[in-house]
Chains A and B, each alone.
Chain A
Amino acid sequence: MAKIIVVTSGKGGVGKTTTSASIGTGLALRGYKTVIIDFDVGLRNLDLIMGCERRVVYDFVNVIQEDATLAQALIKDKRLENLYVLAASQTRDKDALTTEGVERVISELASNFDFVICDSPAGIEKGAHLAMYFADEAIVVTNPEVSSVRDSDRMLGLLASKSRRAELGLEPIKERLLLTRYSPDRVEKGEMLGVEDVEEILSIRLLGVIPESKSVLKASNQGIPVILDDESDAGQAYSDAVDRLLGKDVEHRFLDVKKHGFLQRIFGGRE
């Protein structure tokens, strides 16, 4: 049986899709059969970041409405043997998702995969609710700023009360914090919250800290999940996060301010 992991946040644009793509790819790289589902019906982003947008024939909504089978709709990744994507529909709205439909698709996937990653849309409405409803674990993506932390907190409350696990009184969803777009310089200047602040406010386990990095945008423009760019700090940070997700004890990196070069120190130049 697969582990169902939702990547969620409440707030929009914090890096959920970037994270879903990289974590999913990282799990597949380590040999786990993985599928990533795009729950952001109406927008469709995941396929672009995964670089498979030109191969979408059927999507998640088609499968829910039984216009297509899962086998027809799953898009096999061109780089990795055991990685699949289920794209969102661009032409429907969120009402096309139903609890019964989502349950049927997820349970069918669960018996064929090791991991099902659900890329949640922003907000706390229907799409976000369905993305987290069947989850066993949650990666709560948060940026180091007050509004994002508040929204994550709200989402954690929903995970603890409005999920299937909560409603059936099962063991609660395992919650993990992924702090993204982290910039130690700006934390030091007091422009952003530090890791400890966010950890303390949300009081959940820290899965990782992904630094703010130009490599992320570059990678998504090329349709390559940033975790495959092992030169980049963001890619390495995602790799560490995947190892931690699998139970490894990996020390956190990229938390300190970069040592500035000699000239920068003298002239105080910006990085």
Chain B
Amino acid sequence: MTQAEQNPVFQLRGSMLAVTVLELEHNDLERLDWQLAAKVERAPQFFSNTPLVLALDRLPPESSELNLAALMQLCRKHGLCPLGLRATHPAHLEAAYRLNLPILPGMGAQPKTRPLPPSDESSAPKPAPPLEPVYKPARIINQPIRGGQQVYTQGDLIVLAPVSPGAELLADGNIHVYAPLRGRALAGIKGNTSAQIFCKQLAAEMLSIAGCYKVAEDLRRHPLWGEATQISLEGDTLNLRPL
């Protein structure tokens, strides 16, 4: 093996993730639908692609016939993105397996392993083909983003006007600011460590990539403060380079 082949291409890191859990108490999707709708009305900010764990382990035992696919669809409809399932009922575990949905450990319980795939291939429904990565066009913003405003996008975010102190940019992908960046910029917020931030003039209150951050207090002392800068994540520290 050459040296290059031995260089690791990845690292595994443990991390604590604070995530909302939706604990289902009744198998009543219709009621869930309108109750979620009411919540969204009150807090629309919260319900925009919010990652979520679905907990089915509090459902009464007779709820085995729960339609998991419909439940997932309902969550997505209201802006919630289920990351995985907390469940104990074998019927739920099997449904999760068919939908390729990870099973997460319950409250204080051991992680549940997946049930064995059904042995009779012909009787089991075919697992859905793996999802093709979907192309998410960048969101482009031409107006200044002012203090108190927050912009989130699932793909890349491109801003062509100043970002004020007190404004917040959030993206699952990269963030480009072709103007002074005076607010906060959080790239790769769903954990994408290869996300980067580019700005024409670094004056940010905070920069963050996949949860690793630097605040203005540290940034101010950097020689690139006020300059065109590219920010990437190396290990678990932010690396600043001139653009």
Contact = CB atoms under 8 A, between A and B. Distances in A.
Contact of A153 (B143, B161, B164, B180): B164
Given A201-B164, A203-B161, A150 B147 contact: yes
A157 B147 contact: yes
B146 A154 contact: yes
Interface in B165-213: 165-167, 180, 182
Helix, strand, loop or mixed for chain A's interface? helix
Nearest to B145: A157
Contacts of B143: 160, 172
Nearest to A159: B146
Interface string B211-240: 000000000000000000000000000000
A112 interface: no
A21 interface: no
Contacts of B147: 150, 153-154, 157
Interface string B135-167: 000000001111111000000000001101111
Contacts of A160: 143, 146
Interface string A193-220: 0000000110100000000000000000
Contacts of B180: 200
A161 interface: yes
A231 B161 CA distance: 40
Contacts, number: 33
Interface residues of A, number: 12
A227 interface: no
A150 B147 CA distance: 7
Interface in A128-172: 150, 153-154, 156-158, 160-161, 172
A161 B165 contact: no
A85 B166 CA distance: 37
Contact of A154 (B148, B161, B162, B182): B148
B161 A157 contact: no
Contacts of B149: 157, 161
B144 A203 contact: yes
B162 A157 contact: no
A157 B145 CA distance: 7
Contacts of A156: 144, 146
A201 B164 CA distance: 7
A161 B167 CA distance: 14
A161 B150 CA distance: 11
Nearest to B165: A150
Contacts of A203: 144, 161-162
A201 B165 CA distance: 9
A174 B145 CA distance: 16
Name, among A156, A157, A203, the residue most crowded by chain B CB atoms within 10 Å (CB to CB).
A157
A150 B144 contact: no
A146 to B, nearest CB: 9
Contacts of B148: 154, 157-158
A160 B167 CA distance: 14
Contacts of A150: 147, 165-166
Contact of B166 (A154, A158, A161, A172): A154
A158 B167 CA distance: 12
Interface string B62-93: 00000000000000000000000000000000
Interface in A5-53: none
A157 B161 CA distance: 13
Contacts of B164: 153, 157, 201
Interface in B116-152: 143-149
Contacts of B166: 150, 153-154
16 contacts: A150-B147, A153-B147, A153-B164, A154-B146, A154-B148, A156-B146, A157-B146, A157-B164, A157-B167, A160-B146, A161-B149, A200-B180, A201-B162, A201-B164, A201-B182, A203-B144
Ranked 9 nearest A-B pairs via Cβ: A157-B146, A154-B147, A157-B149, A153-B147, A153-B164, A154-B148, A153-B146, A156-B146, A157-B148
Interface of B: 143-149, 161-162, 164-167, 180, 182
Given A156-B144, A157-B146, 13 more contacts: A150-B165, A150-B166, A154-B146, A154-B147, A157-B147, A157-B148, A157-B149, A157-B167, A160-B146, A172-B143, A201-B162, A201-B164, A203-B144
